[in-house]
Chain A
Amino acid sequence: MDQNPNGLKGTFGVKTGLAEMLKGGVIMDVTNTEQALIAERAGAVAVMALERVPADIRAAGGVARMADPRIIREIMQAVSIPVMAKARIGHFVEAQVLQSLEVDYVDESEVLTPADEEYHIDKWQFDVPFVCGARNLGEALRRIAEGAAMIRTKGEPGTGNVVEAVRHLRTVNAEIRRVVAAPEDELGTIAKNLGAPLELVRRVKEAGRLPVVHFVAGGIATPADAALMMQLGADGIFVGSGIFKSANPEARARAVVRATLHYQDPAVIAEVSGDIGEAMPGVEISTLAPSERMQERGW
């Protein structure tokens, strides 16, 4: 593998670079090779290898951990697109294991049961890139400060209800607009109030967006959900339970991919949304007890 001794590996540019290549695409949760192949054939740009999709994790309860390495390896062998896998928040040994498996991205994810309620993984210690969830700008910038090379909204995983992902994406966008509009001498106080490093707040002001790619995740269940998130400014889409808990995963996967591409064209979204079977059953967020809300995990 190491055929370029002069090349620099694991740099932040190399880590964010892969996320740049995924933009405009759909990343799908899969639990076996058959699902991974369905996702790849439907035009997914990557898959997330899991033991259970979030809806089933929610139903099963108990402690949710990193997937069995055997499942991850099988999926990596089955498809040519990048394979991501989840580690528990703060569980840097699970992340070390995933890096040794050579997964393409590690998701330090609130979908699994946190291993550390105070500290997230120090992601600078790794060559494998990380994606992390965030509900607001401060949280996103804290994760980037820890070395995350890609951010996604948390949403509320496994619910098939897009409302929390919408809230998180709109919140980040509104906070970015505020930073952009603020004069230079107010940035220090803004950084303090966000709980984020000043240097990253400056970069947000210069670029007018997050310094890394920003996907959405958590509750996306239909082609129209995906297009909604793209019109709200998402760089791309994670679909967790939405595909393989629906009645016709193959048709839904293709429809979500096409709606993500033609997100500005309601006629195409209408066309792809027909005859794809029932969406996954949804959950009203207010029926979840605070302890059942995965988005509250992490800080």
Chain B
Amino acid sequence: MKIGVLAIQGDVREHQRHLTALGCEVPLVRRVADLDGVEGLVMPGGESTAIGLLMQEEGLLDELRARIARGFPVYGTCAGLILLARDIEGPPPPRVGAMDITANRNAYGRQLASFEAALDIPAVGETPFVAVFIRAPRIARMGPGVVPLAFLDKEPVMAEQGPLLVSAFHPELTGDNRVHRYFVEKVRTAHYRPAS
């Protein structure tokens, strides 16, 4: 299975390592041509303003919107969540905007407020998942089609809608690859039809 990692900027190699360990072929995606033959995409953590601007310049925002409309699976972590969110509280970066959520940027505060916490994520198993939140966004609103998958203090921190998956935290920063396994399964069962 071929799952790309958006490689504009951010913790690209950590996602690549997890997906490779799960048996995927993992091309790095910097421009539209890099998406050839790719069945799903991970948008890593990084700085959403920088990533969004450069995705726009590369034509990747339009391309991803078109693909997502045909069922293309995308998993966004942290900055990736912001870039997938339809609405933004705080300065809005150029973004894909395909998921019916509102993201509140840096809602937990600056770096001093960044933290680790153990989360229950029933969809990936019973053992708590050690989640790292770095200047993380909050999911301030979920549309009716959005399914929450994990909560922290009663607020959703991981959610999905159709082929789209988001988390406010960084599963790629730990050795635990269960969230990536969940996304790989999502790609496997997706009904994405490439444009002919």
Residues in chain A within 8 A of chain B (CB atoms): 1-4, 6-11, 13-14, 17-18, 20-25, 40-41, 43-46, 76, 80-82, 99, 102-105, 127-129, 257-258, 261-262
Contact = CB atoms under 8 A, between A and B. Distances in A.
Interface in B43-99: 45-47, 49-50, 53-54, 57, 78-79, 90-91
25 contacts: A1-B108, A1-B113, A7-B115, A7-B116, A7-B117, A8-B116, A9-B113, A13-B132, A14-B115, A17-B114, A17-B132, A18-B134, A20-B11, A21-B11, A21-B45, A21-B135, A24-B8, A24-B46, A25-B9, A25-B50, A43-B53, A76-B110, A82-B135, A128-B112, A257-B54
SS of A interface (majority): loop
Interface in B90-128: 90-91, 105-106, 108-117
A45 B112 CA distance: 18
A45 B115 contact: no
Contacts of B79: 21
Contacts of A127: 112
Interface residues of B, number: 41
Nearest to A8: B116
Contacts of B185: none
A4 B132 contact: no
Contact of B173 (A20, A46, A257): A20
Contact of B12 (A23, A128, A257): A23
A44 B105 CA distance: 17
A17 to B, nearest CB: 4
Contacts of B91: 80
A81 B79 CA distance: 11
Contacts of B152: 4
A262 B54 CA distance: 11
A99 B112 contact: yes
Nearest to B91: A80
A6 B110 CA distance: 18
Interface of B: 7-14, 30, 45-47, 49-50, 53-54, 57, 78-79, 90-91, 105-106, 108-117, 132-135, 152-153, 170, 173
Contact of B30 (A13, A103, A128, A262): A262
Contacts of A17: 114, 132, 134, 170, 173
A14 B114 contact: yes
B115 A8 contact: yes
B46 to A, nearest CB: 5
A3 B111 contact: no
B117 A13 contact: no
Name the residue among A46, A129, A261 with the largest chain B CB count within 10 angstroms. Answer: A261
B174 to A, nearest CB: 8
Contacts of B45: 20-21
A81 B82 CA distance: 13
Contact of B47 (A6, A82, A102): A82
Given A13-B116, A17-B173, A81-B50, A1 B132 contact: no
B9 A4 contact: no
A22 B111 CA distance: 13
Contacts of B173: 13, 17, 20
A7 B114 CA distance: 9
